[in-house]
Amino acid sequence: MPRTPLCDLLSIRHPVVQAGMGIWRGLVTSPELVAAVSNAGGMGCLGGSGLTPKELRAAIRRVRELTSHPFGVDLIIPAALSTQDGTRADIREDIRRNHPRHFAFVEALYERHGVPRNPIDLELTWTPALTDAQANVVLEERVALLVIALGDPAALVPRAREAGIKVGGLVGSLGNLRRQIEADVDLVIAQGAEAGGHVGSVSTFPLLPQVVDAARGKPVLGAGGIADGRGVAAALALGAQGAWVGTAFLFAEEVQIHADHRAQLVQGRSEDFAATRIYTGKSARTFRNVIHAEWAAAGLEPLGMPHQKVLFEDFLHAARSVGRLDLISNPAGQIAGMLREVRPAAAILHDLVHGAEAQIEHLHACIR
Ligand SMILES: Cc1cc2nc3c(=O)[nH]c(=O)nc-3n(C[C@H](O)[C@H](O)[C@H](O)COP(=O)(O)O)c2cc1C
């Protein structure tokens, strides 16, 4: 696999970064996954958004026990919020009073699906109190790379630079890119709409070359739908210096995913992974389940962040605790339809890297 300048910027051998995936309190991007990818010459990245600051610090330290290679942390720091402060209890109460139809919709889910109530016992949710504390942990721990999704990294870039941390901005449109360039991030991740997790509306093929052209020379990683060497080679051909890969690493043995969700991933077709605003108020791609149809039938507009997340999270937690994985979010991208095998992360990275090399050689041979 050709080295690109991104390898020097991040001090890694191969220009493939395992994407931060922050759901289920860190179970997906476990320290074992992150370390395995970094040890194999790529860069692993903790999904920090679902962790309390204390859990995030512990996860970072655990990765350090497992690897001496650089790794990253991804945080979701939403630029637009429906409230700047308040605890989960405050937001629950606000929903009950001011959004009674939304409240009633979720209440009815418990009855209809026979799920006993079991509210989340954690007052923190996505407000600046949480995201500031998470960012402080990353700065204090001097992790090699901090990636910020959905937000404006302007305030963080100078502090990160002082701590010797590179900052990446994840974008799904040229509009998002402007904010990242103005904040002077070190690298940009252009994520197309076929990706898992939060998505914009433009697919990787049209998005990536436009971001490369508008990024003013900053290194760009392609993301969304990349799961083998052909995808990595295509991203390089579109002008990227590397790939940011999420869904393919969901098939790693080191990912602590529930067996029912793993089965959805292994058996699902590309069209089973659909974008919905149910879970956070922002469009996110996840395995389609019965709740999606029930929400669509209700005709409700999603609330903002973090209201919509608080609205659904108690139900998701309750359903998960009684093993009803069929009712809860299982984010993954459309490329899951191509993937069938669960393997060690190092083997997935090896195939991305050496598959790209083979594909590039194959292309040379084709055009000779
Ligand atoms: C299960 C899952 C959880 C994700 N969580 C986050 C997250 O917490 N923060 C973030 O920036 N992106 C998140 N993403 C998006 C990934 O970082 C990445 O951009 C995406 O997976 C790339 O596309 P692909 O899934 O087609 O590889 C998530 C994706 C998945 C599949």
Read off the pLDDT of residues 225-269 as tens digits, 9 standing for 90 and up: 999 999 999 999 999 999 999 999 999 999 999 999 999 999 999
In a domain, 333, yes or no: no
Assign residue 145 the CATH number of its domain. 3.20.20.70
Q: Whose CA is nearest to atom 13 of ligand 1?
A: 21
Domain hosting 281: range is 88-122+266-327
State how far the alpha carbon of 265 is from the alpha carbons of 197, 246, 279, 325, in Å.
14, 13, 19, 13
- The closest of 66, 78, 16, 65 to 41, measured between CA atoms, is 16
First to last CA, the chain: 20
| 10 lies in the same domain as 36 | yes
Q: What is the mean pLDDT of the chain?
A: 96
CA of 303 from ligand 1 middle (Å) equals 22
Based on the domain organization, do 163 and 300 belong to the same domain? no
Question: And the tokens for 96?
Answer: 């009950």
Mutate to test the pocket of ligand 1, among 16, 21, 43, 77 (most ligand atoms within 8 A of CB): 21
pLDDT at 69 over 70: yes
162 in the same domain as 276: no
Whether residues 105 and 212 share a domain: the answer is no
Whether residue 211 sits in one domain with residue 117 = no
Judgement on whether residues 184 and 281 belong to the same structural domain of the protein = no
Give the binding-site residues of ligand 1, using a 6 Å CB cut-off. Answer: 19-23, 28, 47, 49, 74, 76, 149, 170, 191, 194-197, 223-226, 244-247, 250, 331-333, 335
What digits encode the pLDDT tens for the residues 184-204? 999 999 999 999 999 999 999
Number of domains in the chain: 2
Residues 9 and 98 in one domain: no
Residue 333 · residue 194 · CB < 8 Å: yes
Cα 97 to ligand 1 centre (Å): 33
Which atom of ligand 1 is found nearest the CA of 148? 11
Between the CA of 279 and the centroid of ligand 1 the distance, in Å, is 14
**Nearest protein CA to atom 1 of ligand 1, as residue:** 331
Cα-to-centroid distance, 28 and ligand 1 (Å): 10
Q: 288 and 199, same structural domain?
A: no
Per-residue pLDDT, 84: 87
Residues 93 and 170 in one domain: no
For residue 129, how far is its CA from the centre of ligand 1 (angstroms)?
A: 23
Residue 191 CA: nearest ligand 1 atom is 19
**Chain segment 125-142, per-residue pLDDT in tens:** 888 889 999 999 999 999
Residues 318, 171 share a domain: no
Q: For 75-94, give the DSSP string.
A: EE--SS-S-SS--HHHHHHH
Q: Is residue 334 assigned to a domain?
A: no
User: Rounded mean pLDDT of 54-61?
Assistant: 97
**Is 109:115 a contact under the CB 8 Å cutoff?**
yes
Q: How far is CA 9 from CA 35, 177, 239, in A?
A: 19, 20, 17
The C-alpha atoms of residue 343 and residue 247 are separated, in whole angstroms, by: 13
**Closest ligand 1 atom number to CA of residue 331:** 1
Task: Find the 18 Cα to ligand 1 centroid distance in Å.
Answer: 9
Alpha carbon of 199 to ligand 1 centroid (Å): 9
Residue found under tokens 């937001």: 91
Q: Which atom number of ligand 1 is nearest to the Cα of residue 194? A: 26
Residue 68 CA to residue 54 CA, distance in Å, equals 22
Find out whether 251 and 339 touch, Cβ atoms under 8 Å.
yes
CA of 196 to the centre of ligand 1 (A): 5
21: in domain? yes
49, 148, 198, 205, best to mutate for ligand 1 pocket (most atoms within 8 Å of CB): 198
Closest CA to 275 of 315, 340, 318, 224: 224
Q: Phi and psi for 166 in degrees, rounded to 5? A: -85, 145
Same-domain pairing of 323 and 353 = no
The rounded percent of the chain whose pLDDT value lies above 90 is 91
191 dihedral zone (left: phi>0; alpha: psi -120 to 50; beta): beta
Q: Are residues 64 and 180 in the same domain?
A: yes
Say whether pTM exceeds 0.85: yes
Helix-then-strand count for the chain, H and E = 15, 11
Measured CA to CA, the distance from residue 368 to residue 363 in angstroms comes to 9
* Coil, strand or helix at 186: coil
Q: Does the structure show a pLDDT above 90 at 26?
A: no
